[in-house]
Chain A
Amino acid sequence: MRRFGRLYSQLLRTGFAEAVAYRAEFLIWMFSTNMPLVMLAIWAAAAREGPVAGYSQRGFAAYYLCTLLVRLLTGAWVVWEMTMEIRQGTLALRLLRPIHPLLQWSADNIAAIPMRGVVALPVTAVLLFFARGELARDWFSWLLLCPALLGAWLLYFLVQAMIGTVALRFESAASLFEAWLGFSNILSGYLVPLDLFPRAVRDVALWLPFRFQLSYPVELMLGRWSRLQALELLGVQWIYVAMFLLATRAAWRSGLRYYAAYGG
């Protein structure tokens, strides 16, 4: 365990050094995560005359700022790295090392969080200034937010990794990921709060994994659930994490059998 701790802390240090080296590109990429602000402008205009499905203008501001924060803190890009490295043949060099490539990519993604903080901190300040009254008052919700954010990040990372393993066999997984991202943007609450969906759609969406990638941590921040309900939902989220972990592991092993290690 100590050995793993030493290894992972070195991976994080290296990942942070790389994030700093790519800082300009990284910041531009983060600023491109602006869809919640666009949606906020639209829904805030719609709510000028009165609340929409229970959301006032301030309510929408709180929702979309929380959404932006969660997205900034749980971002992952492993599917792009996997696809690129598989196509260019550089994955071979990772496979030669006695460490699972996904562990290394996970550290690269986590190590970028301090850089994300550069954007996340001002968003938090604006959130506290404009919509403090809309946020959860129970400290327990904020306590659960830590494992919920970790679970959300793991779901996002593992789904990407699982889709990325398709490239081991077919050299590309980008289109498949784009298709998945389309569903995710709608069903995770990224574009529209799930409360605004027709009841039948919402009832299904509440139990799909997309919700637990984004909407669930946002719901915690907005104090939507009692302590017991919040805990139950955390349990569901981590069941999904475990399922995707097993599925990704199986997909990786199966994919490696077809990996052609082209290039070089």
Chain B
Amino acid sequence: MIEVAGLRKWYRVHRREPGLAAALRSLWHRPTEEVKAVDDVSFSIAAGERVGFLGPNGAGKTTTLKVLAGLLHPTEGRATVAGHVPQKRERAFLEQITLVMGQKQQLLWDLPPSETFLLNRAIYDIPRAQYEETMAELTELLELGELLGKPARQLSLGERMKCELAVALLHRPRVLFLDEPTIGLDVSMQATVRSFVRAYNERFGATVLLTSHYMEDVAALCPRVMVIDKGRLIYDGALQELVRRVRPDKRMVLRLSRPVARAELEPLGAVVEHRDAEAVVQVSQEALQAAVARALSSLPLTDLTVADPPLEEVMRDLFAHGRAA
């Protein structure tokens, strides 16, 4: 569904120092430098896959998405989406894709969302029966009922994002590019958006490429992740494998019937957290079995669970040390 080979997107940007003297100098001398936003990226995504696109700010995630959505012309390389070259922006291509940007909105600001739905119905030439069926589904899944008649400017951020998603999916696109779709939303709204995206993917077999700084989005939605840093793809594979490579250690979460001294925990491994009757201990993969046995025999346990390190920590380590490759 998505094929990318040797993709490069470089920008030339003007650089200048702060201050009046630099401003005056820039009148006749404007030094520029080349920024490699995306640098020789290749990957392939099959129809119906859900893929997370991870990377720090400025890594090249959004630029790649914009190239795939046909907004940017690549500097070099080749990309095809649903058999089309994105930058040609053919109607048949645009009818099959959508790009949801958490920080941008396509709802008409001073009009109720229902006006934007009608506009998109005309733009995508959606037959009345399909429009009514889709609207009924979206209204139920996203609980849009009362929101459709209020001016968009009067909706809360979460309500607006639900309407944005509905507008973006009204034409039933086969490829969803989601750029930070849950940014700024509260925990419950994030969960609503995640379950909706998953339901849409399963119902229509749509391909999903998602960027998010909320690791829960990625963990809940994307069995496969791609990691980009400084414009280069440094990992492409299963999320669990990435975690194993970057942070091979495990975490024992201990719940105790009475508080214990830190010294009693230290023989198990590195104590990450310790407060009253709860503790988290970091243990290497090889030492895990022995540590569990020791904890069971030596501590007043009420519960013991073994988990991977939090994804946020995995990502922090990954970008600090570049260890995925």
> Chain A interface (Cβ within 8 Å of chain B)?
3, 6-7, 10-11, 13-14, 17-18, 21-22, 89-90, 92-93, 95-99, 256-257, 259-261, 263-264
Q: Which residues of B contact A3 (CB under 8 A)?
A: 125
Say yes or no: A257 contacts B73, CB within 8 Å: yes
Determine whether the beta carbon of B179 is less than 8 Å from that of A264.
yes
Q: Which residue of A lies closest to B98 (CB)?
A: A96
Which segment of B111-119, B234-242, B298-306 sits at the interface? B111-119
Assess whether B71 is in contact with A7, with CB atoms less than 8 Å apart.
Answer: no
Beta-carbon contact of B119 and A263 below 8 Å: no
What's the least CB distance linking A208 to chain B, in Å? 33
Contact A261 B71 (CB under 8 A): yes
B90 closest partner in A (C-beta): A98
B104 touches A90 (CB 8 A): yes
Does B325 sit at the interface, judged by CB under 8 A? Answer: no
The docked-state distance in angstroms from the alpha carbon of A93 to that of B89 is 13
Instruction: Give the CA-CA distance A264 to B11 in the complex, in Å.
Output: 17
Interchain CB contact under 8 A, A98 and B110: no
Query: Chain B residues in contact with chain A, CB under 8 A?
Result: 11, 62, 66, 69-73, 89, 91, 94-95, 97-99, 101-106, 108, 110-111, 115, 118-125, 151, 179
B71 touches A96 (CB 8 A): yes
Closest Cβ of chain B: how far from A24's Cβ, in Å? 12
Residue contact B118 to A10, C-beta cutoff 8 Å: yes
Contact B73 A14 (CB under 8 A): no
Q: Complex formed: what's the CA distance from A95 to B106 in Å?
A: 11
> Secondary structure at chain A's binding surface: helix, strand, loop or mixed?
helix
Report how far A259 CA is from B69 CA in the complex, Å: 13
Q: Are B108 and A14 in contact (CB under 8 A)?
A: yes
Q: B122 contacts which of A11, A92, A96 (Cβ < 8 Å)? A: A11
Shortest CB distance A12–B (Å) = 10
* Residue among B62, B70, B102, B119 with the highest chain A CB neighbour number at 10 A: B119
A18 adjacent to B69 (CB under 8 Å): no
Known: A14-B118, A90-B104, A92-B104. 16 other contacts (CB 8 A): A3-B125, A6-B122, A6-B125, A10-B118, A10-B123, A14-B108, A14-B119, A17-B111, A21-B151, A92-B66, A92-B99, A93-B104, A93-B105, A93-B106, A96-B71, A96-B98
Contact partner, B123, options A18, A21, A95, A98, Cβ 8 Å: A98
Report chain B residues within 8 Å CB of A6. Answer: 122, 125
Residue among A17, A92, A98, A256 making CB contact with B94, cutoff 8 Å:
A98
Bound-complex Cα distance A27 to B75 (A): 46
Inter-chain contacts of B118 with A (CB < 8 A)? 10, 13-14
Q: How distant is the Cα of A223 from the Cα of B95 in the complex, in angstroms?
A: 50
Contact A260–B11 (Cβ < 8 Å): yes
CB distance A261 to B115 under 8 Å? no
Q: Which A residues lie within 8 Å of B72 (CB)?
A: 259-261
Residues of B within 8 A of A99 (CB): 123
B101–A92 touching, CB < 8 Å: yes
**How near does chain A come to B73, taking the closest CB pair, in angstroms?**
5
Q: How far is B105's CA from A90's CA once the two chains are assembled, in angstroms?
A: 8
Instruction: Please name all residues of chain B whose beta carbon is closer than 8 Å to the beta carbon of A90 when the two chains form the complex.
Output: 104
Instruction: State how many angstroms separate the Cβ of A91 from the closest Cβ of chain B.
Output: 9
Q: Which of B95, B111, B125 contacts A7 (CB 8 A)?
A: B125
